[in-house]
Amino acid sequence: MTVFEALHRPGGVLVYGIPEFRLPKAIVDQEVAKLVELGVRVECNVVIGQTYTIGQLMADEGFDAVFIANGAGLPRFQGIPGEHLKGVYSANEYLTRVNLMGAYQGEDAATPVLRGRGVVVVGGGNTAMDAVRTGRRLGTDPSTLVYRRSEAEMPARVEEVHHAREEGIAFRMLTNPIEVLGDEKGWVRAVRCQLMALGEPDASGRRSPVPVPGSEFEIECQVFVEAVGTRANPLLTQSTPELALDRWGQIKADERGMTNLPVSSPAATSSAAAPRSSSPWVTASAPPPRSTSGSAAVAREEAGDRALTRAPIGTHRLR
Ligand SMILES: Cc1cc2nc3c(=O)[nH]c(=O)nc-3n(C[C@H](O)[C@H](O)[C@H](O)COP(=O)(O)OP(=O)(O)OC[C@H]3O[C@@H](n4cnc5c(N)ncnc54)[C@H](O)[C@@H]3O)c2cc1C
Please write the tens of the pLDDT for every residue from 45-94.
999 999 999 989 988 999 999 999 999 999 999 999 999 999 999 999 99
Residue 236, ligand 1, Cβ within 6 A: yes
pLDDT at 80: 98
Q: Is 5 in the pocket of ligand 1 (CB under 6 A)?
A: yes
Contact 126 CB / ligand 1 (< 6 Å): yes
Cβ atoms of residues 120 and 85 within 8 Å: no
CATH superfamily of 74-230: FAD/NAD(P)-binding domain (3.50.50.60)
In sequence order, the 6+-apart residues with CB closer than 8 A to the CB of 161 are 129, 151, 154
Task: Output the pLDDT for position 293.
Answer: 44
DSSP 159-198: HHHHHHHHTTPEEEESEEEEEEEE-TTSBEEEEEEEEEEE
**Closest ligand 1 atom to Cα of 10:** 49
Instruction: Kindly give the confidence (pLDDT) of every residue in the chain, 319 residues in length, as a single tens digit, with 9 standing for 90 and above.
Output: 999 999 999 999 999 999 999 999 999 999 999 999 999 999 999 999 999 999 899 889 999 999 999 999 999 999 999 999 999 999 999 999 999 999 998 888 999 999 989 999 999 999 999 999 999 999 999 999 999 999 999 999 999 999 999 999 999 999 999 999 999 999 999 999 999 999 988 888 888 899 999 999 999 999 999 999 999 889 999 999 999 999 988 999 999 899 998 664 443 333 333 333 322 222 222 333 334 444 555 555 433 333 222 333 333 333 2
Which residue lies with its CA nearest to atom 20 of ligand 1? Answer: 13
The predicted structure's pLDDT at residue 202: 85
Which CA distances in Å does 98 have to 75, 131, 170, 200? 17, 10, 21, 39
Residue 43 host element (H or E): strand 41-43
pLDDT computed for residue 295 by the predictor = 59
> How many other β-carbons are positioned within 10 Å of the β-carbon of residue 149?
19
In angstroms, what is the span from residue 80 Cα to ligand 1's centroid?
A: 26
Contact call for residues 236 and 250 (beta carbons, < 8 A): no
Rounded to whole angstroms, the Cα distance separating 222 from 190 reads: 7
Q: Is 90 in the pocket of ligand 1 (CB under 6 A)?
A: no
- Delimiting residues of CATH 3.50.50.60 domain(s) in the chain: 2-72+232-299, 74-230
Among candidates 71, 209, 97, 94, which has minimal Cα distance to 152?
Answer: 209
- SS3 of 201, please? strand
- Whole-number Å distance between alpha carbons of 170 and 21: 19
Q: What is the pLDDT of residue 262?
A: 66
Q: Using the 8-state DSSP alphabet, how is residue 311 labeled? A: P
Say if ligand 1 is within 6 A of residue 233 CB. yes
The rounded Å distance from CA 121 to ligand 1 centre is 20
Residue 95: count of CB within 10 angstroms of its CB: 25
pTM score of the predicted model: 0.86
Return the residue whose CA atom lies nearest to atom 10 of ligand 1: 126
**Ligand 1 atom having least distance to the Cα of 47:** 42
Query: Do 233 and 74 form a contact (C-beta atoms < 8 A)?
Result: yes
pLDDT score for 302 = 35
**For a substitution probing ligand 1, which of 225, 290, 295, 298 has the most ligand atoms within 8 Å of its CB?**
295
| Strand order across the 88-90 sheet | 88-90, 223-226, 119-122, 143-147, 170-173
The architecture in CATH of the region 2-72+232-299 reads 3-Layer(bba) Sandwich (3.50)
Q: Half-sphere exposure of 258 toward its Cβ, with a 13 Å CA cutoff?
A: 13
Q: Is 36 in the pocket of ligand 1 (CB under 6 A)?
A: no
- Taking CB atoms within 8 Å and a gap of at least 24, the contacts of 75-80 are 75/226, 75/229, 75/230, 76/226, 76/228, 76/229, 76/230, 76/231, 77/226, 77/228, 78/122, 78/177, 78/226, 78/228, 80/177, 80/178, 80/179, 80/180
CA gap 138, 135 in Å, rounded: 5
Q: What percent of the chain has pLDDT over 70?
A: 82
Whole-number pLDDT of residue 29: 97
Q: What is the Rg, in whole angstroms, of the alpha carbon atoms belonging to the chain?
A: 22
Beta-strand pair 223-226/207-211: unpaired
Instruction: Assess whether the C-beta atom of 57 lies below 6 angstroms from ligand 1.
Output: no
Pairing mode of beta strands 296-299, 2-4: antiparallel
Q: How far apart are CA 93 and CA 104, in angstroms?
A: 13
**Ligand 1 atom with the shortest distance to the CA of 7:** 47
Any atom of ligand 1 within 6 Å of the Cβ of 4: yes
| Any ligand 1 atom below 6 A from CB of 73 | yes
